[in-house]
Amino acid sequence: MVTLKKFYMIRHGQSVANEGRYFSGNLDVELTDKGREQAKDAREHVEKLVHKPVQIVHSHLSRARDTATIINQNIGLPMTEMDLLGEHHFGDWERASWEEKRPLFMAGENPPNGETHDDFTARVKRGLNTALELEGPILIACHGGIFRAFYHLYDNLENFNRIENCRLYSFTPNESRSEFPWDIEKVG
């Protein structure tokens, strides 16, 4: 499925779409002031890691890129932009309210004129495997949908909880867990 290799992953800081409670998907929306502060707090957790990342891979969308840039401010790691790790393309649902469309989306309905769940999951799989080919451990700055697709690859959505903005997660391979071969730790 996904290359078994230690890595870190973080969802971007609060964006204007998060604050406004609407689907942004492939829309390039910026971080709020709160989102920038969340990224600064996350930077402190990254700086305290015993096994630090050696590079950062981030989505092409500014909310993830800006989060990565803020986290990287003091440590100066190489950064790689990767479109494959962009958020789900929500098509006609982009800019639609969460309250209106989220129940449909979570029930498995595909967004009209957007990316199907299966296509998105396949793209994320390619993106994660491409990123994990790099020297590591790496830190991936991305979107909540990337986490969801990662869990979906292993049919493990029942363990998927809402991913908080700028919460750092450590993924360590654990091959003894056949259903989901990763130990996940929240950092900070």
| 184 in any annotated domain | no
Residue 155: pLDDT above 70? yes
- Condensed to tens digits (0 to 9), the pLDDT of residues 54-66 reads 999 999 999 999 9
Residue 16 covered by a domain: yes
Distance CA 151, CA 29 (A): 25
87 within a domain of the structure (yes/no): yes
Considering the domain boundaries, does residue 36 fall inside one?
yes
The tally of domains found in the chain comes to 1
Please state the pTM of the whole predicted model: 0.95
Looking up residue 91, the CATH number of its domain turns out to be 3.40.50.1240
Higher-scoring residue by pLDDT: 157, 77: 77
Per the structure, the complete domain to which residue 157 belongs is given by 7-171
Whether 1 maps to a domain, the answer reads no
- Residue 182 inside a domain? The answer is no
Please indicate, yes or no, if residue 183 is contained in any of the structural domains.
Answer: no
Residue range 91-140, pLDDT digits in tens: 999 999 999 999 999 899 999 999 999 999 999 999 999 999 999 999 99
Q: Which residue has the tokens 């950092």?
A: 187
Q: What is the pLDDT confidence band of residue 157, given thresholds at 50, 70 and 90?
A: low
Average pLDDT over residues 19-38: 97
Q: Specify if 69 maps to a domain.
A: yes
For 62-92, give one letter per residue: b (16+ CB within 10 A) or e: bbbbbbbebbbeeeebebbebebbbbbbbbe
Q: What is the mean pLDDT of residues 165-176?
A: 95
